[in-house]
Structure 1
Amino acid sequence: MTTVRIKGFKIFKDRHGRMRCYHRETSQKIDLVKAPLGSAAFFTECEKITAIAEANKAKAPKVGTLGGLIQSYYETEHFKNLAPATRRDYRQCADFLEPIRDTPIHTIDTPLVAGIHDKAAQKIGWRRANMLRTFLSEVFRFAIPKGLISANFATGVIPKPRPAKLAYANRPWEREECDIVLEHAPPHVRVVLAVLMNTGLDPSDALNLRRDQIDGETIWGVRGKTGVEVAIPIGPTLHAALKQAPQHDAPALLANSRGEQWTYNGFSTVWHRFKTGLEAEGLIQPGLTLKGLRHTVATTLREAGLDERRIADLLGQKTLSMARHYSRSANLAAKNRETMATLETENARRARIVKPSAKSVKPEPKG
């Protein structure tokens, strides 16, 4: 039998006596049944695999370039431990930088990064441009200890300000808006909104809550975005809302009309349809968002006189280690119980202002 040799491919006989062939670099196999060894189809497959391998090699970031720095950052534990949403945002930043990924490291400096930042603001907006700046800062920060770059050239770049005329993206809800939405919401939607209004949780974190995260009168959780532990006492208002929620067998605390755990996209779709209907009827003004309820809790507490540190503790905005001891969270829960009591009192006070009792309404004079 004629011996066939192709550069970059391993051709051999397996333990069953059958001929095998694969590309050494990519481990891509060739089906020798469909493309017999030495046939025209076989050589075509070899050429195709080789061409793909060379194309992929050309795409790979080069050492000593911006693309190489980004690839090095992707391999760090820091990047791998980021929340999925943050990793996705960072990869989108890298996609924007793709046209200049071969920029040599020795040419990177603060003016260059500032220019990239300016161009990004024009093309993808001020918010995404600032995300790009943050991404580059992280890439440079983790490249410095490895000796890959001399300094963090992104820290000297000034973030783009929020445009003065831009509407508040997630404005706080008014008390009347909260009442109207809760009054008209279907039961399986109402309980989700009640959780958001009375905890300050991020919508995605609230929808991911499990029943076993409630211990007594406290919700124990971890912010998906930052990994910070939170301990949120359950006040009377939320307790009543949970008690009135539709019963279901899902391990999640919150479930849809089928008794299954909500997905974020699923609830967002239902919420948007429901909200649009209320807007069409003129019952609420445009601009209500789920994330806006997190702002609502913070604003309510701030206006009630609580300091920013206590509000941040409730919302899980303090940077802490994932290995934070459970007892420390317990101490935080005790402090947050006072914070939640303030929220309950302030919401009740606002409700009385918005909805005056019948006794306070003076009858119109007759005649």
Structure 2
Amino acid sequence: MVVKVPLKGLNIRQSRGKWYVSYRSTGETLIKGFEGTREQLDRQIASHDFRIKHLHAETRDRSPSYDEGTLGAIIKWFKEECPRWDKLSEASKEDYEKSFTYLEAAKHETAGPVYNFPVSIITQPSVYGMRNKAAKDKWGRFADKLVSHLSTIFKEAVKVGKMVQNPAGGVEKLHTADPNANHEWTDEEVQTAIWLASDAILTPLILARYQGFRGQTCAALTWRNYLPDAKTGKAFSVVLRKNNEASWFPCAPETREHLDDVEAVRADAAVKATRICLNSDGLPWKNEKSMQGAVSDYLSELKADGLIREGCTLHGLRVTYAAAIRRQGFDTGIVADALGDRSRRMGEHYTRHVEKELGRLKVFKGKNDK
């Protein structure tokens, strides 16, 4: 029999088979990524260790109050009541919390704490001011994320009448993306990275190059997503977080060969794992950021040794996958379908460099024909 301890103010939710428990008021996580049944979770919540953790957290001044209509109150509403917050991944919530922590500590030279600002007086110029100060205090990309987070919150607040307009909408970014970042890899670069990669790094590289999967998809894939298929032998059935659509992807021969080897090795070692991608300890990655960070560190070593170029990234392997499809003669709509994107424009986005090549090739052949 499970003894339930009545603890108030907890948000209990399940995502991709794992349980998360946090405070409704602050979003502070008390249990993260718990695997098991609801009954097992209740036992954990009723445990001595959890009650002590809860008691310590309760004694802290975790939830300062803000006057209605202030920035602090709007952010508090977003975390406690707005459905958009619950739809965010744990990694995204961590990014938002960094912005919230910065804003909560920020003070205007004459107007005092930023959290006390009435949102009715926040204008686009004042958002630019926040952005510029954040860039000086932190860095450009942090400032851009801060504005993006505010824009999302304000947009949701406008929907329910808490704000009249979104003053963060349309604010220009400080950080300019490197046009050479995430570029297509050469075949030699792909094979070099695959040949030298450890087991923990190799699987996401294979999934990105031969399936076109995003890093977030690679990190979340389980063996239940990898199924026998009458048409193709093996396929992936997965709900893509980017568009929340159930999608089917035929398994490429290169991917199948690799995953068959992975299954065999783990069976011999009696490793029981639900996730396909595991870290060097044989455990699931904490989140996609930790996996992507490890892959990025590995690729940085290859760049330092001159084995691959700058701009060769995990996402660049998705670009490489898309470019290969376009070079086979398939249009950008088919490319988008293969990537699992709703919009044809994304097929164009990933293969715009191929379009330029094809155009130049037509010019070259036209001249020779004459």
> TM-score with structure 1 length normalisation?
0.61
Q: 1:84 to 1:227 in 2, by over 3 A?
A: farther
8 Å contact kept, 1:230–1:313: no
Letter in 1 for 2:120: H
Q: Decide which moves more: 74-83 or 134-143.
A: 134-143
Q: Shift of residue 128 of structure 1?
A: 3.0
Unaligned runs of 5+ residues in structure 2 are 1-55, 107-113, 267-271, 355-370
TM superposition shift of 1:122: 4.1
Pick aligned residue for 2:265 from 233, 247, 269: 247
State the partner residue of 1:237.
Answer: 254
Computed over aligned residues only, the root mean square deviation of the Cα atoms, in angstroms, reads 3.6
Higher Rg: 1
Task: Check 1:191–1:112 CA distance in 2 against 1; reply closer, same or farther (3 A cut).
Answer: closer
**Residue 315, structure 1, aligned to residue 333, structure 2:** no
Asked if structure 2 preserves the Cα contact closer than 8 Å seen for 1:140 and 1:151, the reply is: yes
1:65 equivalent to 2:79? Answer: no
Is 1:84 aligned to 2:81, yes or no?
A: no
Corresponding residue for residue 153 of structure 1: 167
Structure (1/2) with the larger strand percentage:
2
Q: Deviations over 1:30-81 (max 9, x none)?
A: xxxxxxxxxxxxxxxxxxx9xx78x666x33321211111111112111111
Give the percent of matched residue pairs that are identical in Structure 1 and Structure 2: 26
* Cα 1:152/1:266, change in 2 over 3 Å: closer
2:176 to 163, 166, 174: 163
Unaligned runs of 5+ residues in structure 1 are: 1-48, 320-338, 347-367
The Cα shift of 1:131 comes to: 2.3
Q: Which residue pairs with 2:361 in the alignment? A: none
Higher relative contact order (CA closer than 8 Å, sequence separation 6+): 1
Change (3 A) 1:271 1:257: same
Matches within 5 A, 1:316-355: 316-318=340-342
Secondary structure in 1 matching 2:314: coil
Aligned partner of 1:218 in structure 2 is: 235
Mark the CA change 1:104 to 1:255 in structure 2 (over 3 Å): closer, same or farther: closer
Q: Is the 8 A contact 1:140 1:149 kept in 2?
A: yes
**Contact 1:61/1:67 (CA < 8 Å) preserved in 2?**
yes
Residues 71 and 119, structure 2, Cα contact 8 Å, conserved in 1: yes
Give the length in aligned residue pairs: 268
Deviates more, 1:99-108 or 1:275-284: 275-284
Q: Which AA in structure 2 matches 1:238?
A: T
Write the distance in 2 (CA, Å) between the matches of 1:238 and 1:281: 27
- What amino acid sits opposite 1:114 in the alignment? Y
Matches within 5 A, 1:1-367: 59-74=64-79, 75-98=81-104, 99=106, 100-155=114-169, 157-160=170-173, 162-163=175-176, 166=178, 168-186=180-198, 189-215=201-227, 216=229, 217-224=234-241, 227-245=244-262, 246-248=264-266, 249-255=272-278, 260-261=283-284, 271=295, 274-275=298-299, 278-279=302-303, 281-302=305-326, 306-318=330-342
Displacement after TM superposition at 1:274 (Å):
4.9
Q: Deviations over 1:2-57 (max 9, x none)?
A: xxxxxxxxxxxxxxxxxxxxxxxxxxxxxxxxxxxxxxxxxxxxxxx9xx78x666
